Amino acid sequence: MKARLTCVAASALSLALTVISIRYFADFWLLAFVNSFQLHIAVLAAIASLLCLIPLRSRIFIVLLAWAFALSAHALFMHQEFVTSAYAPQSAKAFRLLSFNVLMENSRNAESIADTIIALNADVAYVMEAAALTSVLPRLSKTYPYRIGCGEGTQSCDLLMLSKRPLENARIGTLSYVSRERFGMAMIDFDGVPLTLAAAHLAKPYFDEYHRNELSRIQSTISSVQGPLILGGDFNSASIAPDMRDFLLATDLKKAQWEPATWPIDAGPFGIAIDHIFARKPATLMKLERLPDNHGSNHYGLVADFAIAAPLNRSNRLVGIEKTARLPRPEFGIKPATVHQLHVGALLHDAPRIHDDQPI
């Protein structure tokens, strides 16, 4: 009986640890979402190995315990990669951003979500699955008179960018057939500093290679952006997933020192962070917090505080808005325009569709 229990327990633990170890040999998209849970699975496997070791006293559980410990340690190390220094010059100015996937079918909580957005006093808000808020858009427009999405430059109402300041060169594009009109970029004049804002809502990581391809298209789009850059949204994957790590390494974006869990709701603080806010200097992410209430969504929202400094040129002189106001020419399905120049239908009629094997 003891031998049979040892065999069953050891086989189950070995299988679990093997699944989260495959990433070190191959990036297999079918296991992409499992990679986001590496720390959780490894810690549970370590605890289970220890519990099995005590009564069953088999050396196989010592091996499994060491294996699980190594995977846990590396997961913790990966969580601390690409973190912000949280240091900015004294001349930097405070900026606040809200990012929240409100759930498309969550219209019954539209009023409470609008209350929260307004009360947080963010300079800019990113809203994913924003169709739930169509009834409160007139109310939100009183606080955020500038927007892109939900009829402004789009045919759909998924990605929505709200701003208290004019959005310049604002546009929304399609990352793939799965993520239509789910990537937006704009620039604001933040007290003389050109600040580039980007928002994204990516496909699920287990939808073939879509997730990695979409990250690659975002990377190619923001790679030539000069000056401070902030990217946020629903990435549907933890930052320790292989394609997310490759993306952060290639773009030099920084994340919070510890990202709060945003999904699943029932797991509370023991879930994983699949919603992110990243920044590239001279935009410095100083603090990231999770909203205390999910307001009926299946995600928790995030609010981030930044310190925005003016970029320096090669002679270490501050660069003004007039020298860096241009954003890179977008190639992901629409032509550059201000938010006031975008019209419903222009995205599909004025530019070619994107195929999955094409870069943005």
36-90 pLDDT tens trace: 999 999 999 999 999 999 888 899 999 999 999 999 999 999 999 999 998 988 8
- Do you find a cis peptide bond into 264, omega within 30 degrees of 0? yes
Residue 316 CB partners (closer than 8 Å, separation 6+):
none
- Quote the DSSP letter at residue 149: B
- Please tell me the chain's helix, strand, coil percentages from 3-state DSSP, rounded to the nearest 5: 40, 20, 40
Model pLDDT, residue 122: 98
pLDDT recorded at residue 332:
43
| CA–CA gap between residue 144 and residue 130 (Å, rounded) | 15
Residues of the chain with pLDDT under 70: 313-360
Residue 214 backbone phi and psi in degrees, to 5: -65, -40
The set of residues, in sequence order, having a beta carbon less than 8 Å from that of 36 and lying 6+ positions away, is 205, 237, 238, 240, 241, 272, 274
Q: How far apart are CA 188 and CA 117, in angstroms?
A: 19
Question: Which residues 6+ apart lie within 8 Å of 264 measured at CB?
Answer: 271, 298
Instruction: At 272, list the tokens.
Output: 């994983």
**Residue 28: partners with Cβ closer than 8 Å, 6 or more residues away:** 22
User: Positive or negative, the Cα torsion across 58, 63, 68, 69?
Assistant: positive
Instruction: Give the pLDDT of residue 132.
Output: 97
Beta bridge pairs of residue 233: 200, 276
Q: Rounded to whole angstroms, what are the CA distances from 166 to 37, 39, 162, 180, 339?
A: 40, 42, 10, 24, 8
CA distance 325 to 327: 7
Q: List residues bridging with 126 in a β-sheet.
A: 99, 161
* φ and ψ at residue 95, rounded to 5 degrees: -140, 140
Whether the CA torsion 189, 191, 194, 197 is positive or negative: it is: negative
Query: pTM for this one?
Result: 0.86
Kindly provide the b/e burial profile for residues 68-80, where b requires at least 16 CB atoms within 10 angstroms of the residue's own CB. Answer: bbebbeebeebbe
Could you tell me the strand order of the sheet in which 302-308 lies?
146-148, 160-163, 124-128, 93-101, 302-308, 283-290
Structure tokens at 191: 């007290």
Q: CA 285 → CA 8, 156, 226, 261, distances in Å?
A: 47, 31, 17, 17
Distance CA 64, CA 72 (A): 12
262: tokens are 């945003």
278 DSSP β-pair partners = 231
